[in-house]
């Protein structure tokens, strides 16, 4: 299955401990929005998901996917409400597709790695798709030329968001996104290093705008996967080849769902 169009899921009841809390802070006199979070809760659920699905990624690719999950979460909070966003990164070397998607309305995030049957592109590209209810949504893409996912997002902001941004990976699985607002102090923003960011709340005048909570959650099910297999309804023998069931993988999170002929 290859359809990775983002689809928001209805929220469910979960205890607050299972969420990553994301804070949105305005930095006064600099006109910069700072979004930050500690991602251990999301990463814990991500690894539980991999264990349940018997999935294992190479360490460097795993870290890239985790970085993208963190950055898309922060980006969703920096953006207006009610958006569902998906990023697909198509890399030449290693030849891999990284996919992350999330909803700011339902506060969920998920992702998956594709390492098999990936066509070799002529360049590294980040594709972005934004869905907003009752609108046509938006699509964009940018070329990327580094191996660091945080630099990909800075490039994305400059080219697609058309405003500067800085992304930082701090200690203890903390991540920070600093996005320029109108009349931002761009020179100050560009001068920041990791140590500066760690102490912004003590060196700058700040105001917390909101705190939100996100969780690692796809919401896929066999019922949602079946429509993609409807074209096989009259060719069941060709699809199942005598087997009592087949496995269909969710393209958004990699979860495997059993499908039987009678389901079609």
Residue 263: predicted pLDDT: 82
Task: For residues 226 and 206, state if they share a domain.
Answer: no
Q: Please name which of 255, 3, 253, 220 lies closest in space to residue 110, comparing C-alpha atoms.
A: 253
Residue 127: predicted pLDDT: 97
The lowest-confidence range among 9-13, 54-58, 172-176, 206-210 is 9-13
Task: For residues 177 and 245, state if they share a domain.
Answer: no
- Residue pair 63/46 in contact (Cβ under 8 Å)? The answer is no
Condensed to tens digits (0 to 9), the pLDDT of residues 159-169 reads: 999 999 999 99
Task: For residues 167 and 38, state if they share a domain.
Answer: yes
Cα gap 71→65, rounded to integer Å: 10
CB atoms within 10 A of CB 50: 15
Residue 243: predicted pLDDT: 79
Residue 195 has pLDDT above 80, yes or no: yes
Average pLDDT over residues 49-59: 95
Q: CA 20, 55, 214: angle at the middle one, nearest 5?
A: 15
Assess if residue 143 is contained within a domain.
Answer: yes
CA separation (Å) from 208 to 28, 31, 64, 78, 143?
11, 13, 29, 13, 34
| pLDDT band with cut points at 50, 70 and 90 for residue 17 | low
What is the total count of domains within the chain?
A: 2
Assess if residue 244 is contained within a domain.
Answer: yes
For the chain, the distance separating the N- and C-terminal CA atoms, rounded to the nearest angstrom, is: 16
The lowest-confidence range among 220-224, 240-244, 257-261 is 240-244
Task: For residues 180 and 229, state if they share a domain.
Answer: no
Task: For residues 212 and 230, state if they share a domain.
Answer: no
Assess if residue 39 is contained within a domain.
Answer: yes
Assess if residue 228 is contained within a domain.
Answer: yes
Residue with tokens 């949105």, as numbered in its chain: 24
Condensed to tens digits (0 to 9), the pLDDT of residues 89-138 reads: 999 988 999 999 999 999 999 999 999 888 888 999 999 999 998 888 89
- Residue pair 111/99 in contact (Cβ under 8 Å)? The answer is yes
Task: For residues 87 and 68, state if they share a domain.
Answer: yes
Task: For residues 97 and 144, state if they share a domain.
Answer: yes
Task: For residues 125 and 80, state if they share a domain.
Answer: yes
Assess if residue 149 is contained within a domain.
Answer: yes
Assess if residue 3 is contained within a domain.
Answer: no
Q: 258-261: list long-range contacts, CB under 8 Å, 24+ apart.
A: 258/222, 259/222, 259/225, 259/226, 259/229, 261/236
Residue 11: predicted pLDDT: 45
Residue 232 has pLDDT above 90, yes or no: no
Residue 226: predicted pLDDT: 83
Residue 228: predicted pLDDT: 82
Task: For residues 43 and 144, state if they share a domain.
Answer: yes
- Could you give the dihedral angle defined by the CA atoms of residues 47, 56, 143 and 146, in that order, rounded to the nearest 10 degrees? 90
- Residue 236's contacts (CB-CB under 8 Å, 6 or more residues apart) are 261, 264
Write the CATH number for 241. Answer: 3.90.1280.10
Assess if residue 6 is contained within a domain.
Answer: no
Task: For residues 128 and 240, state if they share a domain.
Answer: no
Task: For residues 173 and 229, state if they share a domain.
Answer: no
Task: For residues 194 and 243, state if they share a domain.
Answer: no
Residue 237 has pLDDT above 80, yes or no: yes
Write the CATH number for 71. Answer: 3.55.30.10
248: containing domain = 222-263
Assess if residue 255 is contained within a domain.
Answer: yes
Residue 131: predicted pLDDT: 94
Cα gap 124→121, rounded to integer Å: 7
CB atoms within 10 A of CB 153: 25
- Residue pair 152/124 in contact (Cβ under 8 Å)? The answer is no
Average pLDDT over the chain reads: 91
Condensed to tens digits (0 to 9), the pLDDT of residues 56-74 reads: 999 999 999 999 999 999 9
């Amino acid at each position: 299955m290859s359809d990775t169009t983002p689809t928001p899921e209805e929220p469910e009841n979960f205890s607050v401990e299972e969420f990553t809390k994301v804070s949105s802070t305005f930095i006064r006199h600099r006109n910069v929005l700072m979004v930050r979070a500690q991602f251990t809760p999301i990463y814990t659920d991500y690894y539980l998901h991999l264990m349940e699905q018997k999935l294992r990624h190479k360490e460097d690719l795993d870290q890239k996917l985790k970085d993208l999950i963190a950055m898309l979460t922060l980006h969703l909070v920096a953006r207006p409400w009610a958006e569902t966003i998906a990023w697909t990164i198509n890399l030449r070397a290693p030849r891999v597709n990284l996919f992350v998607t999330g909803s700011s309305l339902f506060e969920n995030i998920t992702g998956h790695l594709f390492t098999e049957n990936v066509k070799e592109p002529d360049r590294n590209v980040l594709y972005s798709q934004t869905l907003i209810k009752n609108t046509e949504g938006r699509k964009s893409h940018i070329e990327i030329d580094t191996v660091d996912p945080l630099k990909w997002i800075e490039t994305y902001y400059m080219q697609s968001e058309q405003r500067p941004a800085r992304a930082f990976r701090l200690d203890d699985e903390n991540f920070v996104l600093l996005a320029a607002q109108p009349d931002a102090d761009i020179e100050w923003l560009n001068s920041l290093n990791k140590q500066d960011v760690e102490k912004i709340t003590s060196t700058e005048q700040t105001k917390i705008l909101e705190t939100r909570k996100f969780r690692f959650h796809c919401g896929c099910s066999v019922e949602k996967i079946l429509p993609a297999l409807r074209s096989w309804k009259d060719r069941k023998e060709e699809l199942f080849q005598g087997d009592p069931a087949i496995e269909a993988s969710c393209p958004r999170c990699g979860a495997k769902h059993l499908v039987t002929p009678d389901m079609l």
